[in-house]
Amino acid sequence: MTLNQLEYFCAVCRYHSISKAAEELFVSQPAISVAIRDLENEFHLRLLNHAKNKISPTQEGIEFYKRAEIILGQTQDMYSDFSQLSLTMKPVRIAIPPLMSTVFFPRMIDAFHESYSDVPVQLYEYGSVRARALLDSGALDMALVNMDFYNLENYNSQILMEDSLEYCVSRNHRYASKENITLDMMKDERIILLNTDSVQTKLLKSKFNALEFKPNIILYCSQLYTTLNFLRGGDCGAFLYSSLAVNPRDFVKIPLASKTYTNFGFIWKTGTFIPQNTAKFIDFAKHYDTSGFTEIR
Beta carbons within 10 angstroms of residue 160's beta carbon: 23
Residues 97 and 81 in one domain: no
Question: Within this chain, do residues 78 and 125 fall inside the same structural domain, yes or no?
Answer: no
Q: What DSSP designation does 256 have?
A: B
Is residue 263 helix, strand or coil?
strand
Q: Are residues 232 and 129 in the same domain?
A: yes
Question: Over 50: is that where the pLDDT of 296 sits?
Answer: no
For residue 98, give the nearest of 132, 135, 123 by alpha carbon.
Answer: 123
The total domain count for the chain is 2
Whole-number pLDDT of residue 128 = 86
List of residues 6+ apart from 17 with CB closer than 8 A: 54, 55
For residue 217, is pLDDT > 90?
A: yes
Point out the domain boundary residue: 87, 108, 143.
87
Q: Look at residue 167 in the predicted model and tell me its pLDDT.
A: 96
Could you tell me if 128 and 40 lie in one domain? Answer: no
CA–CA dist 108, 123 (Å, integer) = 12
Residues 194 and 282 in one domain: yes
Query: For 60-141, where are the E strands, in sequence order?
Result: 92-96, 121-125
**Torsion of the alpha carbons at 45, 67, 71 and 47, rounded to the nearest 10:** 30
Check residue 82 and give its pLDDT. Answer: 67
- What is the pLDDT averaged over residues 259-276? 86
What's the pLDDT tens digit per position in 6-56? 999 999 999 898 988 888 877 888 889 998 999 899 999 899 988 878 899
Q: Do 82 and 121 sit in the same domain of this protein? A: no
Q: Which pLDDT score, from 0 to 100, does residue 263 have?
A: 87
Residue 102 pLDDT > 70? no
CATH number for 81: 1.10.10.10
Identify each DSSP E strand in the chain by its residue range: 48-50, 55-57, 92-96, 121-125, 142-146, 155-170, 190-193, 216-220, 237-241, 251-255, 261-269
How far apart, in whole angstroms, are the C-alpha atoms of residue 211 and residue 219?
A: 21
Out of 87, 121, 148, a domain closes at 87
Give me the phi and psi of 102, to 5 degrees please. Answer: -80, -15
Q: 273: domain CATH number?
A: 3.40.190.290
Percent of the chain with pLDDT over 90: 40
Same domain, 187 and 256: yes
Range of the domain at 109: 92-293
Q: CB burial class (10 A; 0-12, 13-18, 19+) of residue 27?
A: middle
What pLDDT does 101 receive?
A: 67
Q: Do the beta carbons of residue 230 and residue 219 sit within 8 Å?
A: yes
Q: Give pLDDT, residue 143.
A: 92
As a whole-number percent, the residues of the chain with pLDDT over 70 amount to 92
Report pLDDT digits (tens) over 124-179: 888 888 888 899 888 899 999 888 876 788 899 998 888 889 999 999 999 999 99
What value does the mean pLDDT take over residues 269-282?
Answer: 88
